[in-house]
C-alpha cells in the first residue's frame, strides 16, 4: 500500500468527476443535490463517514469540487426528479431552490441512453463499450477534471451464467469484438470505466467489476475499484448486531428478515432473478459472522405504498445458558436514498484518494460500505471501520 | 500488568471458592446449577464468554473446580428454588435430578442471615464485617480453597448519600468501629471480602467496592475487584448498536427505552430510589458513546406476570442525510437469570486468574461484562471485547 | 331521543359556526385547513367517520358550511402555523396556497386572549365567562350562523380538587360571582358556551363540562355536550383489540404501554399532574373491557425530536389454554393532528345535528370518538360504532 | 333454524364421541389432555369460548363427557407425545401424571393407518371410505356414544384441481367406486363421516367438506358441517383490527405479514402448494373487510428452531387525513396447539348441539372460529361473535 504525496492536497485543489450509471434515479438525484447542499454549507454532513474524525483529516476532494455527469435511460430532468423527492420527504423542500443551478448543470452532463443501446442487441459490445468510454472521456475533458470516478447506481441485474470469457482479459476482449451480449450492463460499465482510465464503484448487487477478466484489466491499468451493494439498512444492522451474539457466546438459532420496499427498487427486486442477487449479498454477512446452520429466510417485498421508504423487520431466536430460548427483534424504517447518498459521496472521495495514492485492483478497505465486499476481511461492522481508519492512517502518513 | 506463572495452571489443579451474597436468588441458583451441569458435561457452555477462542486457552479454573457458598436472607433451600426455576422454564427440567447433589452441597454452605444483622441496627458495623469475613474464611478453610471470589448478587440498593468517611480507609474504619449503619450492605460486603483476603465482583448497580476508602483497602491488600451491574439485555444491545450510528455519522436524536421485568428484580426496581441507580447505569453507555443531547427516558416497570422473563423495547429516532428523520426499534425478550449466570461464572474464573496474576484494584479489562464499568475505557461492546482479549493475551504470555 | 325534522336538511342550507379554544394549535390549524380542502373538493374525506355509509346520508352541515373562529393565547397567525405543519409533513405542501384564503379568514375570527385573563387572577370568574360568551355571540351574529359548536382543543389541565360548588348550578354561580379561580379554564369554557346557547365538545382530557353543575346548566338550556379526550391512537387500538381477548376467553395478564410524543402535547403531558388526567382516561378502557387485575403501566414521554408525530408501543402478555403464556405487541406511529382533525369535524357536524334534533345533556352515542366518554356504554370500539350508527338511524327516520 | 328440545339437556347426560383425523398430532394431543384437565377440574377453561357468558348456559356436553378416538399415520402413543409437548412448554408438566389415564384410553381408540391406505393407490376410494366409516361406527358402538363429531386436524393438503365429479353426489359416488384417487384425504374423510352419520369439522385449510357433492350428501343425511382453517393467530388479529380502520375511515394502503412457524406445520407449509391454500385463507379476511387494492404479501416460513411456537409480524401502512402516511405494526407470539385446542373443544361441543337441534349443511354461525368460513357473513370478529351468540340464543329458547 503506497502513501499519499502530501504536496498535492486535493481538498483545496483539483476537481473530481463523478460519472453515474443511473444518473437520474432517486439515489443519484439525492447525491447531486446533497453535494450541492454540503458544498454550499447549506446542511451539515450528517451520514458522511468521511467527515468523521480519523477520516476528515485526509486530503479528500471537497464536496464543491465534485462535478457530476452520467447516463440514464430516463429523460426526466434532475430538477424535476428533485421536486418529486422533496414531495416524498427525501429532500427538504427549502433546499430545492438553492441547489437548482447545480441540478441543472449536472443534468446537462447526463446522456439519455436508450435501453437497446445498453442491451446491445445488434452491434458487438466492444462498440458500445467504446461509446461509453468516449462519453466519460469527453466529460473529463469538458470539465478539465483531475480524475473521474464511475459509480454504478442502476437497477439490480440478474446474476449472469458464468462464461469462460469472463476469466481472462484476452478472452473477454475477443468475445466483445464479435458478440452483442457478452457482459451484463454493470460489467460493461466497469470495462468502459477502466478503458477510459477511471476507477469504478459498484453500489448495486450486480456483477460490476467482479469478474477475473475485469480485475486483470484494472490491475493492468493501475486502477482501483470497489463494491458491491451499498450497506444501508437491514444488513448494516446485522453486521453491527451479529458480533454481539458471537462475543457473548449466545447461540443464534434463526435469523429471519422481511424487507418492505417501495420505489423502483421494490419493483426491480420483485423479479425473482434480481432478488436472488440481492438476498445472496444480504445473507452473506450472517453466514460469515455466525457460521452455517442459522435458519431463516430473507424476503424482499415490493410495496409501492411505501414510496421512497423501506421497512425491515428482523426476528432472531437464540439460545442462552442451558439452552433457554430467547428472542430479539428489530425494525428499521429508513429512506433508502438518504441512506445511500452520503455513502456514495464518501466512496467517491475515498476512491479519488486511492487513485492519487496509486492503489489498484479491489479495495478491501472499503468493505465497511458494502453488503458483499471484495476479499475475506472480517465482515463485522466494527472490524470494517477499523480497517478503513487504519488505511486512512497509512495513506496519509508521510 | 503482570503475567501469569505458567507452572501452576489452575484448570487442572486448585479449587476456587465462590461466595455469593444472595446465594438463593434466581441468578445464584442458576449459577450453581449451571456450573454443575457444565462441570458434568451435561450441557454445552452457551453464554460463557470464557469458553470462546482467545479466552478458553487461559489457565482458568474448570467449572467443576468451583465450590459455592454464601449468605441469603431467604431460607428456601437451593433444590426447591431450582424446581421453581424449572417450572418457569429457566432451568431444563431434565437437569434437576442430575445436579441435585451439587445444589444440596452448596445449600449446606449458605448461611441464612437475618435481615437485621445486615442492616446492623444495633452493633457497630465493624462487628458485622468481622462476622461476614469469618464466614468466608471458614468456608475457605472448610473446603481447602486456593482462593475465594466474593460476588454480590443481592437486591439493588438505593444510592447512599456521600460521607466524608467513604473517602479514606482510616476514616471508614473509625466510623465502622462506632456506628451501626455506615455502609450500605453491598459495600460492607466488599469491605468484608477484602478483609478476608478475597477478590470482589459487584454484579448489581449497588455501591459495592465503588468508594475511595474501599479501593484503598483493596490496593493495600493487593486484591482485585470489578463491577458493576451485569450487562445482560437492553444495555448490551445499546453498547453494540450505538457505535453503528456513530461510525455511520448518523445523528441520533432520541433513544427511549421501556423495560418490563417480572421476578424479584421488577419489584425491587419499582422502588424509585433503587430504580435510580439502575437507570443511571443504563443511560451511561449512550451518553458516553453518542454524546450529550440525546433525548429519551428509560423506564423500568414491574410486571409480575412476566415471571423470570423481561422484555425491553427501545425506540431510536435519528437523522440521516440532509436531516431526513428515520427510526429504529428493537425488542429484547430474555430470561434474566439465564443471561446473568454464565457471566457470573466468567467473572469468577477471570477474577481467579487476575488474583493469580497478582492484579489488584479495579479491573477495567472486565468492562465488557458491566453496564457501569470502572474506568473511562471506550464503552462500545466491540472495544470492550478487544480490551478483554488483549488482557488475556498479556496475562497468558510468558 | 327525538328525530330530526327532515324538512330542513342542513347539508344544503344553514352555516354552522365552530368556536375553538386553542384555535391556533396544531389540531385546530389542521381542522381549519382540512375543512377548506374538503369543502373545495381538493382532497377525499379520509379519516372522516361522518362520510361513511350509514352516516353520510344524514342531513349534516357540509364542510364548506363550517365557519371557524376561537380563542388562543398564541398570536402566530394560522397561515404561518400551516406552513410549519406543511414543513413537518402534517399538511401537504401543495394545499397551502389553495386554502390560504380560508386560513386568513378564520384567523381574523380568532381572539388572542392573554393567559392571565383565563387564569382569572383578579376579577371574579363570572366576568371572564361573560366575556367569553360575548365573543362567541358576536362571532355568531357577525356571520349569521344557525348554531355554534364550541370545541375545547387547548392544552391538558391538571385534575382540579373537587368543590361543593361544582355540584349545583346555584352554588357554582354564587362562587363565580365572587371568586377569581373557581373553575379550570376548560370548565369555564363549557360554562360560557352554555351561557351563549351553544353546544360543547371537549376533545381533551380536561374537566370541560364534566361537572354536575354544568350538566344542570346544559339540560336547563336544552343544549347537548360531549367528550372527552379524543381517541386517536393507542387507546383506539386498545378498544379494538381488547374485545378480541375477551371473545376468545384469553386471559390478559398485563398490558403495558409507552407513548412517545413530540410537539406541544408531549411537553404538556410531561407535567405529572397533566399526565395523570391523560393516563387515567387511557387506562379506563382496559379496566372496563378486561376487568380489574390486569398489570401494567402507561407512560407518556415527551420526545421533542419526534415533532408532530407520536409512537406508542404496547406489550400484552396473556394466558392461553392450560395457562400457556403468550405475547402480543404493537406499535402505532401516527401524526396526532392528522388523526384528531377529522374527528373534530365529525363531532362538529354531529353536534349540529344533535342540536337540531333537540337533544340535550351528555351525548353518550358519541363515545366512539373518546377515550373517556360519558355514560357506562360498552367501551368496545365495535359496540361504540353500532351505538353511533343506531342513533343516526333513529335521528334521521321520520 | 330449529330450536333445541330442552327436555334432553346434554350437559348432564349423553356422551359425545370426537374422532380426530391426525389424532396424535400436537393439536390433538393438547385437545385430549386439555379435555381431561378441564373435565377433572384441574385447570380453568381459559381459551374456551363456550365457557363465556351467553354460551356456557347452553346444554353443551361436559368436557368429561367427550370420548376421543381417531386415525393417525404416526404410531407414537399419546402419553409420549404429551411428554414432548410438556418439554416444549405447551402442556404444564404437573398435569402429565394427572391425565395419563385419559391419554392412554384415547390412544387405544386411535387406529394407526398407513399412509398408502389414505392415498389409495390401488383399491377404489369407496373401499377406503367404507373402512374409515366402519372405524368410526365401531368407535361409536364400542363406547355407546350419542353422536360422534369428526374433526380434521391432519396436515394441510395442496388445493386439488376441480373435477366434474366434485359437483354432484351421484357423479362423485360413481368415481369413488372405480378410481383410487378421486378425493384428497380431507374430503374423503368428510365423505366417510357423513356416510357414518356424523357431523364434520375441518380445522385445516384443506378441502374437507367444501365440495358441492359433499354438501349434497350432508344435507341429504341431515348432518351439519363447518370449517375451515382454525383462526388462531395473525388472522384472528386481522379480523379484530381491520374493522377499526374501516370504522375510522382510515385508508389502508398495504398490509404485509410474515409468519414464522416451527413444528410440523412449518415444514408442511414450506411446500408451496400447501402454503397456497394457507395464504389464500389468510388473505381472504382483509379483502372482504378492506376491499381490493390493499398491497402486501403474506409469507409463511418454516423455522424449526421455534419448535411449537409461532411469531407473526404484520406491517400496515395507512393514510389519514389529507393523505398523511402512518403505520401500525404488530407481533403475535403464540403457541399454535394451545391456541387451537380450546377452539376444537368449542367446535365439538357446539356441533353436538347443532346435531341435536337438527341443523344440517354448512353452519355459518361458527365462522368466528375460522379463517375461511362458509358463507358470506361479515368477517369482522365482532360481527362473527354476535352471529354465534345470536344462534345460541335461538337454539336455546323454547
Buried b (16+ CB within 10 A) or exposed e, B298-327: bbbbbbebbbbbbbbbbbbbbbbbbebbbb
Model confidence band, residue D274 (pLDDT cutoffs 50, 70, 90):
low
Please write the tens of the pLDDT for every residue from C208-253.
999 999 999 999 999 999 999 999 989 999 999 999 999 999 999 9
Q: Which residue of C has its CA nearest to B327?
A: C306
Distance from CA of D239 to the nearest CA of C (A): 9
Please write the tens of the pLDDT for every residue from A254-297.
999 999 998 766 677 666 666 666 677 677 889 899 998 899 99
d(C-alpha D319, C-alpha D321), whole Å: 7
Q: Which residue of C has its CA nearest to A88?
A: C89
Q: Would you state the cell numbers that stand for residue B273, as one nine-digit string?
A: 430510589
Paired residues of D325 in beta bridges? D319
Distance from CA of A378 to the nearest CA of D (A): 27
Is the Cβ of D293 closer than 8 Å to some Cβ of chain C?
no
* Percent of chain B residues topping a pLDDT of 90: 81
Distance from CA of D312 to the nearest CA of B (A): 14
Is the Cβ of B381 closer than 8 Å to some Cβ of chain A?
yes
Set of chain C residues whose Cβ sits within 8 Å of the Cβ of A94: 87
- The secondary structure of A347-384 as a DSSP string is HHHHHHHHHHHT--EE-GGGGGGBSS-SS-----HHHH
Lowest mean pLDDT among A86-90, B325-329, C366-370, D8-12: D8-12
**SS3 of residue C266 by DSSP:** helix
**SS3 of residue B358 by DSSP:** coil
Please write the tens of the pLDDT for every residue from B15-43.
999 999 999 999 999 999 999 999 999 99
d(C-alpha A91, C-alpha A43), whole Å: 11
Model confidence band, residue D87 (pLDDT cutoffs 50, 70, 90):
confident
Q: What are the φ/ψ torsions at residue D247 (nearest 5 degrees)?
A: -65, -30
Return the pLDDT at D75. 93
Q: Would you state the cell numbers that stand for residue C172, as one nine-digit string?
A: 357554582
Distance from CA of D257 to the nearest CA of A (A): 9
- Does the CA dihedral A330-A335-A338-A342 come out positive or negative? positive
Residue D131 has pLDDT above 70, yes or no: yes
Cross-chain residue pair D338–C328, CB shorter than 8 Å: no
Mean pLDDT for chain B?
Answer: 91
Residue D348 has pLDDT above 90, yes or no: yes
Asked if C43 contacts D322 with a C-beta cutoff of 8 angstroms, the reply is yes
Asked if D252 contacts D241 with a C-beta cutoff of 8 angstroms, the reply is no
Asked if A361 contacts A200 with a C-beta cutoff of 8 angstroms, the reply is no
Asked if B303 contacts B261 with a C-beta cutoff of 8 angstroms, the reply is yes
Is the Cβ of D339 closer than 8 Å to some Cβ of chain C?
yes
d(C-alpha A105, C-alpha A101), whole Å: 6
Distance from CA of C250 to the nearest CA of D (A): 5
Please write the tens of the pLDDT for every residue from B52-83.
999 999 999 999 999 999 999 999 999 999 99
Asked if D76 contacts D24 with a C-beta cutoff of 8 angstroms, the reply is yes
Fill in the DSSP letter of residue A335. Answer: E
Cross-chain residue pair C323–D241, CB shorter than 8 Å: no
Which chain B residues in 341-360 lie under 8 Å from chain A, judged by CB atoms? Answer: 341-342
Set of chain B residues whose Cβ sits within 8 Å of the Cβ of A248: 47, 49, 236
d(C-alpha A185, C-alpha D2), whole Å: 72
Cross-chain residue pair D327–A313, CB shorter than 8 Å: no
Among the partner residues A297, A304, A331, nearest to D329 by beta-carbon distance: A331
Q: What is the residue whose three cell numbers read 472521456? A: A137
- The mean per-residue pLDDT over the stretch A137-162 comes to 94
Cross-chain residue pair C240–D240, CB shorter than 8 Å: yes
- The mean per-residue pLDDT over the stretch D182-205 comes to 96
Q: How many CB pairs under 8 A join B and C?
A: 61
Which chain A residues in 79-98 lie under 8 Å from chain C, judged by CB atoms? Answer: 87, 89, 93-94
- The mean per-residue pLDDT over the stretch D359-384 comes to 94
Residue B219 has pLDDT above 80, yes or no: yes
Q: Which residue of B has its CA nearest to A31?
A: B321
Distance from CA of B314 to the nearest CA of A (A): 9
d(C-alpha D369, C-alpha D380), whole Å: 12
Mean pLDDT for chain D?
Answer: 91
Is the Cβ of D112 closer than 8 Å to some Cβ of chain A?
no
Set of chain C residues whose Cβ sits within 8 Å of the Cβ of A93: 87, 93
Nearest residue to A68 (alpha-carbon basis) of A101, A109, A96: A109
d(C-alpha C305, C-alpha C308), whole Å: 9
**Is the pLDDT higher at A369 or at C5?**
A369
d(C-alpha D266, C-alpha D259), whole Å: 9
Return the pLDDT at A114. 67
Return the beta strands (E) in B3-113 as ranges: 16-21, 66-72, 110-112
Q: How far from chain centre, in Å, is Cα D75?
A: 22
Cross-chain residue pair A303–D295, CB shorter than 8 Å: yes
Q: What is the residue whose three cell numbers read 343516526? A: C392
Set of chain C residues whose Cβ sits within 8 Å of the Cβ of D248: 47, 49, 236
Q: How many CB pairs under 8 A join A and C?
A: 7
Set of chain B residues whose Cβ sits within 8 Å of the Cβ of A335: 320, 324, 326
- The mean per-residue pLDDT over the stretch C174-180 comes to 93
**SS3 of residue C69 by DSSP:** strand
Distance from CA of B94 to the nearest CA of D (A): 9
Residue D311 has pLDDT above 90, yes or no: yes
Paired residues of B315 in beta bridges? B256, B329
Nearest residue to A17 (alpha-carbon basis) of A87, A109, A88, A115: A109
Please write the tens of the pLDDT for every residue from C341-353.
999 999 999 999 9
Q: Which chains touch B (3 or more CB pairs under 8 A)?
A: A, C, D
Model confidence band, residue B285 (pLDDT cutoffs 50, 70, 90):
confident
Q: How far is CA B41 from CA B35, B83, B309, in A?
A: 10, 21, 26
Paired residues of D112 in beta bridges? D72
Q: Would you state the cell numbers that stand for residue C395, as one nine-digit string?
A: 335521528
Cross-chain residue pair C317–B305, CB shorter than 8 Å: yes
- The mean per-residue pLDDT over the stretch B237-245 comes to 96
Model confidence band, residue C81 (pLDDT cutoffs 50, 70, 90):
very high
Cross-chain residue pair B315–C317, CB shorter than 8 Å: no
Q: pTM (2 decimals)? A: 0.93
Return the pLDDT at B14. 80
Q: Which chains touch A (3 or more CB pairs under 8 A)?
A: B, C, D
Q: What is the residue whose three cell numbers read 408501543? A: C313
- The mean per-residue pLDDT over the stretch D204-232 comes to 96
Set of chain B residues whose Cβ sits within 8 Å of the Cβ of C329: 313, 331
Cross-chain residue pair C301–B296, CB shorter than 8 Å: yes
Return the pLDDT at A206. 93
Return the pLDDT at D292. 84
Cross-chain residue pair B299–C253, CB shorter than 8 Å: no
d(C-alpha B397, C-alpha A193), whole Å: 51
Q: Strand order of the sheet with strand A16-21?
A: A110-112, A66-72, A16-21, A147-152, A199-202, A224-227, A361-362
Residue D7 has pLDDT above 80, yes or no: no
Is the Cβ of D333 closer than 8 Å to some Cβ of chain A?
yes
Cross-chain residue pair A317–D327, CB shorter than 8 Å: no
Bond before B228 cis per omega within 30 degrees:
yes
Up-side HSE of residue C265: CA atoms within 13 Å toward CB? Answer: 23
Q: Count Cβ atoms within 10 A of the Cβ of residue A88 and give its class: 0-12 exposed, 13-18 middle, 19 or more buried.
A: middle
* Percent of chain D residues topping a pLDDT of 70: 90
Q: What are the φ/ψ torsions at residue C395 (nearest 5 degrees)?
A: -70, -25
- Does the CA dihedral B110-B111-B112-B115 come out positive or negative? negative
Which chain D residues in 272-291 lie under 8 Å from chain C, judged by CB atoms? Answer: none
Cross-chain residue pair C89–A89, CB shorter than 8 Å: yes
Return the pLDDT at D93. 86
Q: Which residue of D has its CA nearest to C43?
A: D322
Q: Would you state the cell numbers that stand for residue A206, as one nine-digit string?
A: 450486480
- The secondary structure of D225-280 as a DSSP string is EEE-SB--SHHHHHHHHHHHHHHTT-EEEEEEEEEEE-HHHHHHHHSHHHHHHHHH
Spatial CB neighbours of A103, under 8 Å, sequence gap ≥ 6: A29, A32, A33, A36, A77, A78, A79, A82
Distance from CA of B326 to the nearest CA of C (A): 10
Is the Cβ of D220 closer than 8 Å to some Cβ of chain A?
no
Distance from CA of D240 to the nearest CA of A (A): 23
* Percent of chain D residues topping a pLDDT of 90: 81
* Percent of chain C residues topping a pLDDT of 70: 90
Lowest mean pLDDT among A188-192, C9-13, C164-168: C9-13
Q: Would you state the cell numbers that stand for residue D309, as one nine-digit string?
A: 411456537
- The secondary structure of B85-148 as a DSSP string is HHHTTSS-HHHHHHHHHHHHHHHHTEEE--HHHHHTSSS-HHHHHHHHHHHHHHHHHHTT-SEE
Helix (H) or strand (E) holding C212: helix C212-221
Is the Cβ of C232 closer than 8 Å to some Cβ of chain B?
no
Among the partner residues D249, D333, D383, nearest to C49 by beta-carbon distance: D249
Set of chain B residues whose Cβ sits within 8 Å of the Cβ of C253: 305
Model confidence band, residue A396 (pLDDT cutoffs 50, 70, 90):
confident
Up-side HSE of residue D360: CA atoms within 13 Å toward CB? Answer: 14
Set of chain A residues whose Cβ sits within 8 Å of the Cβ of D313: 258, 313, 315, 329
Mean pLDDT for chain A?
Answer: 91
**Is the pLDDT higher at C9 or at A340?**
A340
Q: What are the φ/ψ torsions at residue D311 (nearest 5 degrees)?
A: -130, 130
- The secondary structure of A159-203 as a DSSP string is PPPP-GGGG-HHHHHHHHHH-S-SS-HHHHHHHHHHHTT-EEEE-
Buried b (16+ CB within 10 A) or exposed e, C129-157: beebbebbbebbeebebbbbbbbbbbbbb
C-alpha angle with apex D109: D106 to D110, nearest 5 degrees?
A: 95
d(C-alpha B365, C-alpha B385), whole Å: 9
Residue A125 has pLDDT above 80, yes or no: yes
Q: How far from chain centre, in Å, is Cα D383?
A: 20
Cross-chain residue pair D89–B87, CB shorter than 8 Å: no
Return the pLDDT at D263. 74
d(C-alpha C268, C-alpha C115), whole Å: 15
Cross-chain residue pair D338–C326, CB shorter than 8 Å: yes
Please write the tens of the pLDDT for every residue from A16-61.
999 999 999 999 999 999 999 999 999 999 999 999 999 999 999 9
d(C-alpha D255, C-alpha C159), whole Å: 40
C-alpha angle with apex C304: C303 to C309, nearest 5 degrees?
A: 80
Parallel, antiparallel, or unpaired: how do β-strands D325-335 and D309-319 relate? Answer: antiparallel
Amino acid at each position: 500500500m503506497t502513501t499519499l504525496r502530501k504536496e498535492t492536497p486535493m481538498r483545496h485543489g483539483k476537481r473530481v468527476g463523478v460519472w453515474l450509471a443511473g444518473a437520474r434515479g432517486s439515489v443519484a438525484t439525492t447525491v447531486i443535490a446533497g453535494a450541492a447542499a454540503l458544498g454550499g454549507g447549506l446542511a451539515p454532513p450528517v451520514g458522511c463517514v468521511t467527515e468523521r474524525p480519523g477520516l476528515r483529516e485526509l486530503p479528500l476532494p471537497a464536496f464543491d469540487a465534485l462535478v457530476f455527469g452520467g447516463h440514464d435511460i430516463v429523460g426526466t430532468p434532475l430538477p424535476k426528479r428533485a421536486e418529486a423527492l422533496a414531495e416524498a420527504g427525501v429532500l427538504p423542500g427549502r433546499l430545492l431552490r438553492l441547489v437548482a443551478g447545480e441540478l441543472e448543470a449536472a443534468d446537462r452532463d447526463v446522456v439519455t441512453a436508450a435501453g437497446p443501446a445498453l442491451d446491445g442487441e445488434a452491434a458487438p459490445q466492444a462498440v458500445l463499450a467504446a461509446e461509453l468510454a468516449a462519453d466519460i472521456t469527453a466529460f473529463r475533458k469538458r470539465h478539465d477534471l483531475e480524475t473521474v470516478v464511475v459509480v454504478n447506481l442502476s437497477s439490480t441485474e440478474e446474476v449472469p451464467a458464468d462464461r469462460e470469457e469472463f476469466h481472462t482479459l484476452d478472452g473477454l476482449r475477443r468475445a466483445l469484438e464479435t458478440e452483442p451480449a457478452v457482459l451484463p450492463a454493470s460489467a460493461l460499465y466497469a470495462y468502459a470505466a477502466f478503458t477510459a482510465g477511471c476507477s469504478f464503484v459498484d453500489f448495486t448487487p450486480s456483477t460490476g467489476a467482479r469478474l477475473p477478466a475485469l480485475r486483470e484489466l484494472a490491475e493492468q491499468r493501475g486502477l482501483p475499484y470497489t463494491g458491491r451493494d451499498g450497506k444501508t439498512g437491514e444488513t448494516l444492522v446485522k453486521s453491527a448486531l451479529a458480533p454481539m451474539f458471537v462475543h457473548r457466546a449466545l447461540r443464534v438459532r434463526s435469523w429471519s428478515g422481511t424487507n418492505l420496499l417501495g420505489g423502483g427498487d421494490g419493483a426491480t427486486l420483485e423479479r425473482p432473478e434480481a432478488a436472488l442477487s440481492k438476498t445472496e449479498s444480504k445473507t452473506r454477512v450472517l453466514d460469515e459472522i455466525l457460521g452455517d446452520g442459522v435458519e431463516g429466510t430473507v424476503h424482499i417485498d415490493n410495496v409501492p405504498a411505501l414510496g421512497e421508504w423501506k421497512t425491515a423487520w428482523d426476528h432472531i431466536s437464540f439460545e442462552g445458558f442451558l439452552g433457554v430460548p430467547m428472542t430479539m427483534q428489530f425494525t428499521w424504517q429508513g429512506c433508502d436514498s438518504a441512506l445511500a447518498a452520503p455513502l456514495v459521496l464518501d466512496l467517491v472521495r475515498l476512491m479519488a484518494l486511492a487513485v492519487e495514492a496509486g492503489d489498484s485492483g479491489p479495495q478491501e478497505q472499503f468493505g465497511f460500505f458494502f453488503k458483499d465486499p471484495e476479499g475475506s476481511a472480517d465482515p463485522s461492522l466494527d472490524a470494517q471501520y477499523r480497517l478503513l481508519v487504519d488505511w486512512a492512517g497509512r495513506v496519509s502518513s508521510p
